[in-house]
């Protein structure tokens, strides 16, 4: 006889829709998910972001019941569902390939779950109409999936999943098969729909912009673990590891050591001898003399000619030589080589240009300056193992 599910009780638990406690998944000798603990709040748009093989899809499948855990416990709300099959969990899943029934029209695809529950026809009509309105497809009831575009099919799949009013909706790379323009449109639509229905969405993606656009919080995953968890602004502006700083956009990292703290600021002495300031909170927990890397995003940097750039002394600054200037539309991308041969990337906004890169030519010596508050600090010296690689960017299942 199967034991009844365990029900958790305690303050604050009612606000958590999904709780993972020390969840592990092994495939033979390979550890796909490694002792993962996580709480996802009720009504949250939560994304698991990471490269191929990081464990994000496996984690989603364990939440949905499509994969058994090798260890640990999964709760939906306050109920232990670790050993329950998918149909006994109050979740639905939207897949990348839509998984619509090709022989059924759109009305019957959306109504499928309600018919299995023997809901009366009048109520089915009411709910299907409401769902098609929600996904902006009224009037499409009698079309077949093959008569609709990829984006329309994805909306139907979403409506079919939501009509059962699951506690949690799982989305496994649902926009991966769409072209870039449609994918961007659907990002906005997905967030709108999630806000309207108020259901917890757990979204798996390898696409950084996708996660940043829609999510309330993001778990950046790597090698079966969470590398960093936070809201999009926190992850982008204050990454705590070199992997996160490089996976979420472009970062310039400069090696040095923590020289001390004073009046709310941390001082970092670079290997070149220059001293860079960062918010003291960014270096919390790092001892003076400890090896660090300071980081700054390319759009935070200003490129200044050496003459007339005295104002840079009020902020952080390094000097170098422009080795490449490329006009890329909204901005000009500069590559600037500094002492030691390292090249920094700069994005200079094109506000008053007329269609060509201007201001700094190849071979010109310049000063790069930025505000100290735009500096983040990562503990440890470069070891080559924590940087994102080309394999980390692959568009495959993870």
d(CA 269, CA 289): 9
Structure tokens at 11: 């303050």
Whether 153 contacts 101, CB under 8 Å = no
pLDDT greater than 80 at residue 396? no
What residues does 100 pair with on adjacent strands?
none
Q: Which of 171, 132, 199 is nearest to 49 (CA)?
A: 171
Whether 371 contacts 296, CB under 8 Å = no
Instruction: Answer whether 0.85 is exceeded by the pTM.
Output: yes
Kindly indicate the confidence band of residue 109, based on its pLDDT and cuts at 50, 70 and 90.
very high
The CATH architecture that domain 251-382 belongs to is Beta Barrel (2.40)
Secondary structure class of 37 (helix, strand, coil): strand
Q: What are phi and psi of 58, to 5 degrees?
A: -60, -40
Would 13-236 and 251-382 be classified into the same CATH topology? no
Whether 100 contacts 109, CB under 8 Å = yes
Q: Which of 297, 316, 294, 296 is nearest to 378 (CA)?
A: 294
Q: Domain spans of the chain?
A: 13-236, 251-382
pLDDT greater than 50 at residue 296? yes
Across the chain, mean pLDDT equals 88
pLDDT greater than 50 at residue 134? yes
In this predicted structure, what is the pLDDT of residue 292? 96
Whether 51 contacts 392, CB under 8 Å = yes
Q: What are phi and psi of 244, to 5 degrees?
A: -65, -40
Average pLDDT over residues 351-362: 59
Q: Which of 137, 185, 346, 169 is nearest to 250 (CA)?
A: 346
pLDDT greater than 90 at residue 238? yes
Buried b (16+ CB within 10 A) or exposed e, 229-242: bbebeebbebbbbb
pLDDT greater than 70 at residue 140? yes
Cβ count near 319 (within 10 Å): 18
In this predicted structure, what is the pLDDT of residue 388? 62
Cβ count near 16 (within 10 Å): 19
In this predicted structure, what is the pLDDT of residue 102? 93
pLDDT greater than 90 at residue 39? yes
d(CA 287, CA 281): 13
Q: Tell the CATH superfamily of the 13-236 domain.
A: P-loop containing nucleotide triphosphate hydrolases (3.40.50.300)
pLDDT greater than 60 at residue 391? no
In this predicted structure, what is the pLDDT of residue 359? 65
pLDDT tens, 62-73?
Answer: 999 999 999 999
In this predicted structure, what is the pLDDT of residue 5? 53
């Amino acid at each position: 006889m199967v034991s009844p599910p365990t029900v958790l009780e305690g303050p604050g638990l009612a606000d958590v829709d999904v709780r993972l406690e020390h969840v592990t998944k092994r495939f033979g000798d390979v550890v796909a998910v490694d002792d993962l603990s996580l709480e996802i709040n009720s009504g949250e748009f939560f994304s698991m972001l990471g490269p191929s093989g990081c464990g994000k899809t496996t984690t989603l499948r364990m939440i949905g019941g499509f994969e058994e855990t090798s260890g640990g416990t999964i709760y939906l709300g306050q109920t232990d569902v670790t050993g329950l099959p998918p149909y006994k969990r109050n979740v639905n899943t939207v897949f990348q390939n839509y998984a619509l029934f090709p022989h059924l029209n759109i009305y019957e695809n959306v109504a499928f779950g309600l018919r299995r529950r023997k809901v009366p026809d009048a109520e089915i009509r009411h709910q299907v109409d409401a769902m098609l309105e929600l996904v902006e497809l009224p009037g499409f009831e009698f079309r077949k999936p093959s008569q609709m575009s990829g984006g329309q099919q994805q909306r139907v799949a979403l409506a079919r999943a939501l009509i059962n009013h699951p506690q949690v909706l799982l989305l496994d790379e649902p926009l991966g098969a769409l072209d870039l323009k449609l994918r961007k449109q659907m990002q906005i639509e997905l967030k709108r729909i999630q806000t309207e229905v108020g259901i917890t969405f757990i979204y798996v993606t390898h696409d950084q912009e996708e996660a940043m656009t829609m999510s309330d919080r993001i778990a950046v995953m790597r090698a079966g673990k969470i590398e960093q968890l936070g809201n999009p602004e926190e992850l982008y502006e204050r990454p705590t590891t070199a992997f996160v700083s490089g996976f979420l956009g472009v970062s310039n990292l400069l090696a040095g050591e923590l020289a001390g703290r004073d009046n709310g600021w941390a001082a970092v002495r670079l290997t070149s001898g220059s001293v860079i300031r960062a918010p003291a909170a960014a270096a919390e927990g790092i001892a003076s003399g400890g090896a660090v890397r300071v980081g700054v995003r390319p759009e935070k940097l200003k490129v200044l000619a050496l003459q007339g750039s005295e104002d840079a002394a009020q902020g952080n600054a390094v000097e170098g030589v422009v080795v490449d200037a490329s006009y890329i539309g909204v901005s000009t991308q500069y590559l600037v080589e500094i002492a030691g041969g390292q090249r920094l990337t700069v994005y200079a906004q094109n506000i008053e240009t007329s269609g060509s890169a201007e201001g700094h030519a190849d071979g010109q010596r310049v000063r790069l300056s930025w505000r100290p508050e735009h500096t983040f600090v990562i503990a440890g010296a470069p070891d080559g193992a924590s940087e994102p690689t080309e394999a980390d960017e692959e568009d495959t299942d993870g």
